[in-house]
Amino acid sequence: MPTKKVNILGVKVDMIDIAGAADRIMGFFNEERLHTVFTPNSEIIMAAYRDPEFCKMLNSADLLTADGIGVVYASKILKRPINERAAGYDIARRVLEKLNYTDHKLFLFGGKPGVAEEAAANLRKEYKELNIAGTRNGYFKPEEEEEIVDQINDSGADIVFVCLGAPKQEKWINAHKNELRVKVAMGIGGSLDVFAGRVERAPDFWCKIGMEWFYRLVKEPWRAGRMLDLPKFAATVIMKGKNYKQDEV
């Protein structure tokens, strides 16, 4: 069942929560084609606002969830409220819980050398029946891309977590969507670093009060430049948001 969407500066984000997103993704395994899942935050929506081609690419996804409190607020400003933030990491966790009880195979792609393997080892401990078909680090030359696609396909994976950071992962998935034989390709940023135990996720408290961005800013101050997009995003949604037509679904 398609969900209602909210058009935020041209990006049509699904009005769906974490549990709903995980259910939709599990449903994708019943269809014989590749499905793409992206989780845009306010930086990505601003990037799409400035770049119509990128905006089109995002809108071609099968599922677009609201990653970040900024996107949730924007949906409320536009009077099509999304209930909760549905970050890639949280959706991935729910999907892993469900994959654990299926025969579907998972491929982990991204992160520095060693990270995907460490993530796989940790996930195997946590999800005893999980079938991880292969791993590949996220640093490659353009001429290696076909080899990576072959590695994913040859592994027999049904789902791939592509963790190259945004917008690299979205562009990579889009460039290879006709060759990949998986049923689900999800772009989920730095999640493998968290699964590998190399990066700590903001404690629940910070997420619940909508201040995860602040926690990350203190822990990873080099993000400050990128975060300047957040006030610009808020101002643009307030000023221009109403110019974008909301579909009647």
* Comparison of 78 and 162: residue with beta carbon closer to ligand UDP: 162
* Comparison of 137 and 236: residue with beta carbon closer to ligand UDP: 137
Size (the chain), residues: 249
Shortest CB 182 distance to ligand UDP, Å = 18
- Dihedral of CA atoms 25, 27, 30, 36 in degrees, nearest 10, equals -30
* Comparison of 77 and 202: residue with beta carbon closer to ligand UDP: 202
Residue 181 CB contacts under 8 Å (≥ 6 apart), including other chains: 34, 152, 153
- Dihedral of CA atoms 57, 47, 191, 13 in degrees, nearest 10, equals -60
Shortest CB 202 distance to ligand UDP, Å = 12
* Comparison of 29 and 89: residue with beta carbon closer to ligand UDP: 89
Shortest CB 222 distance to ligand UDP, Å = 10
Residue 98 CA, distance from chain mean position: 17
Shortest CB 101 distance to ligand UDP, Å = 27
> Which residues are registered as beta bridge partners of 7?
12
- Give the interface with ligand UDP as residue ranges (CB under 6 A): 110-112, 138-139, 163-166, 168, 189-190, 192-193
